[in-house]
């Protein structure tokens, strides 16, 4: 029996049992196990079980004899089998599209494997039916796999991390809950075991390899943890405020694109005409001030005062005049 045959036969043996089957019976039944020495059998059987589990096969273990502590094994057909999924042709077509999304070898392979199983379960994927321009998701951080797999296995990890705006590199211990992406940047979310708090770490700021610490299933992910919600927190503050900026005609094209109002031919701060007044929606005072400052003498905030004051204070600071604090984006 080749190894593939042995694995599949073990799987079928455990799957067709109505009750747990003892390790001894398994050994007697499967020829390669029966022919092996005790020690070789133990090793082979452990490895085979692990490989089946790694495939996702739910191998259950229970004690079947109160006196001799004999373990028994089985695979419940209901846990093993993918439930039948009825999909319409359009639903099946979008599943086909999903395989184009990941630009990451591991995730792309997992998506294709999932598609193969769904196909085997009767989903008929017509890849030509839909011609939606599908977005692609890229992963370039080498630590992505380590964090993602640790979150699937629920294994603690240790790594060195450099916070934004800090020169210091510190070693962190994390219970990863998952990996999220916002605007093309990847973050790992979890419980910081040293600080006992939820934390998010940007993958590009990890300064070491990711080391797994201890066993799988070492922690529970808090019930109700919603990565969607956590990802949303990475979004910039919504643009709920409105400001007014004077801009020179023909300039500030970037800001004009998200202006909600425009009045042309107004008198500018230098007393000349040839300026336009833009109404701009913004999220935070500092982000608005920074956008205006980047246009130099082509843009001048009219309102609100707090943005105007911040621009004056920060520009004066750059010129060595008395200043408050200027803060860059986090």
Partner 1 sequence: MSGGAKEQVGRLLALVPLIQRRGAMAVDEAAAALGVAPDQLVKDLRVLIYCGWPGWLPGDLIEVDLDALDGEGVIRITNADYLRAPLRLSPAEASAMIVALRTLRESADGATLASLDSVLAKLEGAAEDGRVATGRVDVHLPRGQREAAALRARLGQAITEGRQVRLTYYVPSRDEETVRTVDPLELVDAQGSAYLQAWCHVADNRRLFRMDRVRAAEVLDAPAQAHPEVPPLDLRDTLFQPAADNALVTLLLRPEARWVAEYYPVEATRETGDGGLEVDLYVADPRWLTRLLLRLSPSAAVVRPQELTESFTAAARDALRLYS
Pick the stretch among 23-31, 35-43, 63-71, 192-200 that binds partner 1 (CB under 8 A).
Answer: 23-31
Cβ proximity to partner 1, 66 vs 319, nearer residue = 319
Task: Give whichever of 67 and 187 is closer to partner 1, judged by the CB atom.
Answer: 187
Q: What minimum distance in Å lies between the beta carbon of 19 and partner 1? A: 14
To partner 1, the closest distance from the beta carbon of 189 in angstroms equals 9
Q: Which of 143, 150, 146, 149 is nearest to 218 (CA)?
A: 150
66 vs 132 by CB, closer to partner 1 = 132
Q: Taking CB under 8 A as the rule, does residue 64 contact partner 1?
A: no
Separation between Cα atoms, residue 271 and residue 254, nearest integer Å: 24
User: Min. distance of Cβ 48 from partner 1 in angstroms?
Assistant: 9
Give, as ranges, the residues between 286 and 305 that touch partner 1 (CB under 8 A).
290-291, 293-300
DSSP structure string for 190-216: EEETTTTEEEEEEGGGB-SPPEEES-T
Q: Which residue number, 54 or 67, has a Cβ lying nearer to partner 1?
A: 54
User: What span, in angstroms and rounded, lies between the C-alpha atoms of 68 and 91?
Assistant: 53
Beta-bridge partners for 197: 192
Sheet arrangement for strand 21-22: 21-22, 70-74, 60-65
At closest approach, how far in Å is the CB of 172 from partner 1? 18
The kind and range of the H/E element at 189 are strand 185-192
Q: Which residues within the stretch 100-119 sit at the binding site for partner 1 (CB under 8 A)?
A: 101-103, 107-119
Nearest of 12, 19, 55, 48 to residue 32 by alpha carbon: 48
The least distance separating partner 1 from the CB of residue 66, rounded to whole angstroms, comes to 26
319 counts as binding partner 1 under rule CB under 8 A: yes
DSSP 271: S
Identify the burial level of 323 via C-beta atoms within 10 angstroms of its C-beta, where 0-12 means exposed, 13-18 middle and 19 or more buried: middle
SS3 of residue 87 by DSSP: coil
Q: Rounded to whole angstroms, how far apart are CA atoms 245 and 238?
A: 19
The single residue among 94, 200, 218, 259 that binds partner 1, judged by CB under 8 A, is 94
Instruction: Please say which residue, 99 or 173, places its beta carbon nearer to partner 1.
Output: 99
Q: Does 169 participate in binding partner 1 (rule CB under 8 A)?
A: no
The span from the first CA to the last CA of the chain, in angstroms, equals 60
- In the complex, minimum distance from the CB of residue 243 to partner 1, in angstroms, rounded to a whole number: 14
Positions in 171-190 near partner 1 (CB under 8 A): 177-185
Q: Is 120 in the site for partner 1 (CB under 8 A)?
A: yes
Q: List the one residue from 63, 138, 171, 208 that touches partner 1 (CB under 8 A).
A: 138
Tell me: does residue 44 bind partner 1 (CB under 8 A): no
Return d(Cα 134, Cα 137) in angstroms, integer. Answer: 10
d(CA 13, CA 21): 9
Assess 88 for contact with partner 1 (CB under 8 A): yes
Contacts (CB under 8 A) with partner 1, residues 209-268 = 221, 225-228, 230-232, 234-235, 251-254, 268
Binding-site size for partner 1 (CB under 8 A) equals 133
Q: Using the minimum distance from each CB to partner 1, give the nearer residue, 144 or 159.
A: 144
DSSP per residue, 45-77: HHHHHHHHHHHT---EEEEEETTTTEEEEE--H
**Nearest approach, Cβ of residue 242 and partner 1 (Å):** 18
């Amino acid at each position: 029996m080749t190894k593939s045959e042995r694995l599949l036969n073990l799987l079928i043996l455990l799957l067709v049992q109505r009750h747990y089957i003892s390790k001894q019976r398994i050994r007697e039944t499967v020829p390669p196990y029966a022919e092996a020495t005790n020690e070789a059998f133990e090793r082979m059987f452990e490895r085979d079980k692990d490989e089946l589990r790694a495939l996702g096969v739910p191998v259950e273990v229970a004690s079947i004899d109160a006196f001799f502590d004999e373990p028994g094994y089985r695979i419940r057909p209901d846990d093993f089998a993918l439930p039948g999924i009825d999909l319409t042709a359009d639903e099946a077509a979008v599943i086909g599209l999903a395989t184009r999304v990941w630009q990451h070898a591991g995730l792309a392979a997992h998506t294709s494997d999932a598609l193969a199983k769904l196909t085997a379960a009767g989903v008929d994927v017509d890849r030509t039916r839909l011609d939606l321009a599908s977005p692609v998701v890229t992963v370039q951080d080498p630590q992505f796999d380590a964090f993602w797999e640790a979150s699937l296995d629920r294994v603690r990890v240790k790594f060195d991390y450099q916070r934004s705006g800090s020169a210091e590199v510190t070693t962190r211990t994390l219970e990863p809950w998952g990996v999220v992406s916002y605007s093309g940047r990847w973050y790992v979310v979890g419980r910081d075991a040293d600080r006992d708090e939820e934390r998010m770490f940007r993958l590009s700021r990890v300064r070491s390899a990711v080391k797994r610490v201890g066993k799988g299933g070492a922690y529970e992910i808090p019930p109700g943890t919603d990565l969607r919600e956590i990802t949303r927190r990475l979004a910039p503050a919504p643009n709920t405020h409105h400001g007014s900026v004077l801009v020179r005609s023909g300039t500030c094209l970037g800001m004009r694109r998200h202006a909600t109002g425009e009045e042309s031919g107004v008198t500018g701060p230098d007393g000349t005409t040839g300026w336009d007044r833009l109404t701009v929606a913004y999220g935070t005072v500092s982000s608005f001030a920074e956008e205006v400052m980047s246009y130099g003498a082509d843009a001048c905030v009219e309102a609100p005062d707090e943005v105007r004051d911040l621009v004056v204070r920060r520009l004066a600071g750059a010129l060595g005049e008395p200043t408050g604090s200027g803060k860059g984006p986090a």
